[in-house]
Amino acid sequence: MHVLQTLEMQELSDHFQVIKRLGQGTYGKVLLAHDKKTGEPMAIKLVRKDRTKLKAFLKELSMSVSLSNNHGIIKTYPVFIYTMDYYVMAQELAPAGTLHHLIKAKVGIPEDAVKRCAMQLSRALDYMHGRGLVHLDLKPDNVLLMDNDCYHIKLCDFGLTKNVGSLVSSLSHIIPFMSPELCDLKQDEYLILNPIIDSWALGVLLFIALIGHFPWNAALEGDIRYKVYINWQKNEDLIPPPGYWENFTKDALNMFNKIFSHDCAARPSILSVLNYLNVPWKVENLSNDGMEVVEEQVDVMTEIVEDSQEFVIEQDQEGNTTTPYGRDLCNPALVVLEETTTLTLGSEVEIP
């Protein structure tokens, strides 16, 4: 059981020295700071009070702290901080930033690095699923890097996380990571939350990391990219893979086809990607004579030791926090958005 320590706004500057801004979104900002007592660098996440209710913030904070023991989840310190305009949580620093900023538009990142991400993310999500939780907001922005080669990455941002079996209503907007059952929800309809939703999002994330491009804007019949993919999926023995899908090997296509099954009951668990780590995913990684190249780096990954402590929370009916991702609606290639550099922490603070 964790006990949260509370720091009032006038105490914030006494505990932390703000160095610079690391990121900014609709719901708040992330700063690089040093703990004045220990000298330890850390990330300070500030969530706007006018965009987030206290109950929702405390839910995310308590959940983040309780999941921190897992090797693949970012550590959150058991401290509740608030300022005039923000609720604040302190987390360990991920020195290499987010996976989003590592991915090059229309290029992606090396396949061996993607496989390292697949291994670690699937295990971190399986840890959550085993405790009855669905992340519900998996995307490159919410994957933090401890190094630039993805040997150690960590899952973060649990503002949308809910219990398995929770009822989810139609969402205000649709993003490429949402499964068809989420995208298809109509007003006054509800979906019983299942971990398979995270499996779909992981598939989209792996596609983006490999190609540097979204597979579609929404998993809906009205989205031409998704419609073409579904048509090919139904007739894969008769027609070649469309567009970007031709970059993948038969093994990778088989993996994606299972993950992207429109029938959620037929979709495999989050750990299914582990069955494909020792075969090439991209055609360019096949040898000249067609023999498959085995990614040796996968075999040297350190085994992740998972904590067995269970964590149960009361289902929250309030609004939750999230951050937007940068993308062009007409061209779903990844983009990075720059923001302003002024921050209010009770008083005005200029960020270098």
- Distance separating alpha carbons of residues 292 and 249, to the nearest angstrom: 10
Q: Which residues pair with 330 in a beta bridge?
A: none
Distances (CA, A) of 257 to 80, 95, 194, 204, 231: 43, 35, 19, 12, 12
Q: Is 137 a catalytic residue?
A: yes
Q: Which amino acid is at 271?
A: L
Active-site choice (14, 85, 112, 137): 137
- Distance separating alpha carbons of residues 36 and 29, to the nearest angstrom: 20
Tallying the residues shown for the chain, one arrives at 352
What is the secondary structure of 28-41 as a DSSP string? EEEEEEEETTT--E
Q: List helix spans (H) across 137-282.
A: 180-183, 196-211, 224-234, 250-259
Distances (CA, A) of 8 to 85, 87, 115: 12, 10, 43
Q: Check if the beta carbon of residue 56 is closer than 8 Å to that of residue 315.
A: no
Active site residues: 137
